[in-house]
């Protein structure tokens, strides 16, 4: 289970970071307004950049929080775009249905509803790290920050759906833990191999289901203060 992670930065900073690492031309779009007029889009981006200057460098990551809007990558009309979506799917707020923030690989592979959502509504969540809570006994848990030893940034596949208000809500995909993580937690986010990152948007459903497996990347950990 993953209920907190470190983003790879605000949208404008993320675009520069991805360009520098992958040489990919990824466009910035805001929220669900993917086809908004460009002049309005530029005005919104300028506001965002000014807001970033007040707090921290635009390329810095920050801790993602459930139900908040998080920068991620989507695919629209053959273009890779950076947009924002709320983390956590709630199908019926009036009935207080559970908040779904992780989607299990085995559920996606066997349940038609989730399989269709995974196929049609593909997203990638860029991260620089994530957190897990290790059970240390006596009903206590230790918060541990996990990063990859050899990668500054990595990508976790996800899926989204639009709520009754037309706003997009997303869930990230988890799998069984790697050999490096099994002593910390029994689940982990799926971390795509380098060659599978951007092909995720165009590969078949069957090919993408094959990618839902534990990562063999070495990790570095840090125990966090309670």
Per-residue model confidence as pLDDT tens digits over 156-169: 999 999 988 888 99
Residues sharing a CB contact under 8 Å with residue 77, sequence separation 6 or more, in sequence order: none
Helix-helix angle 38-55:11-22, to 10 degrees: 90
Per-residue model confidence as pLDDT tens digits over 92-117: 988 889 999 999 999 999 999 999 99
What's the sign of the alpha-carbon dihedral 62, 64, 67, 72? Answer: positive
Query: Which domains occur in the chain, in start order?
Result: 5-219 (3.90.1680.10)
Element (DSSP H or E) covering residue 109: helix 105-110
DSSP β-bridge partners for residue 80: 75
Per-residue model confidence as pLDDT tens digits over 151-197: 989 999 999 999 888 889 999 999 999 999 999 999 999 999 988 88
- Stated pTM of the model: 0.86
What's the sign of the alpha-carbon dihedral 43, 157, 193, 202? Answer: negative
């Amino acid at each position: 289970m993953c209920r907190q992670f470190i983003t790879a930065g605000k949208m404008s900073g993320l675009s520069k970071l991805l360009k520098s690492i992958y040489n990919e031309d990824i466009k910035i779009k805001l929220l669900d307004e993917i086809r908004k007029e460009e002049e309005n889009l530029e005005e919104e981006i300028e506001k965002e950049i000014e807001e970033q200057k007040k707090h921290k460098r635009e390329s810095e990551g920050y801790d993602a929080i459930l139900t908040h809007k998080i920068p991620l990558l989507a695919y629209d009309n053959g273009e890779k775009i950076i947009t924002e979506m709320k983390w956590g799917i709630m199908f019926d707020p009036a009935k207080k249905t559970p908040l779904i923030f992780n989607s299990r690989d085995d559920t996606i592979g066997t349940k038609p509803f989730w399989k269709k959502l995974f196929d049609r509504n593909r997203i990638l969540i860029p991260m620089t790290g994530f957190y897990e809570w290790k059970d240390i006994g006596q009903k206590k848990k230790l918060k541990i920050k996990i990063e990859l030893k050899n990668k500054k940034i990595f990508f976790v596949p996800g899926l989204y759906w639009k709520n009754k208000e037309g706003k997009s809500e997303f869930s990230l995909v988890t799998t069984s833990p790697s050999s490096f993580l099994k002593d910390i937690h029994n689940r982990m986010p799926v971390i795509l191999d380098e060659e599978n990152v951007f092909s995720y948007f165009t590969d078949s459903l069957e090919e993408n289901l094959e990618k839902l497996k534990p990562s063999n990347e070495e990790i570095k950990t840090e125990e966090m203060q309670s």
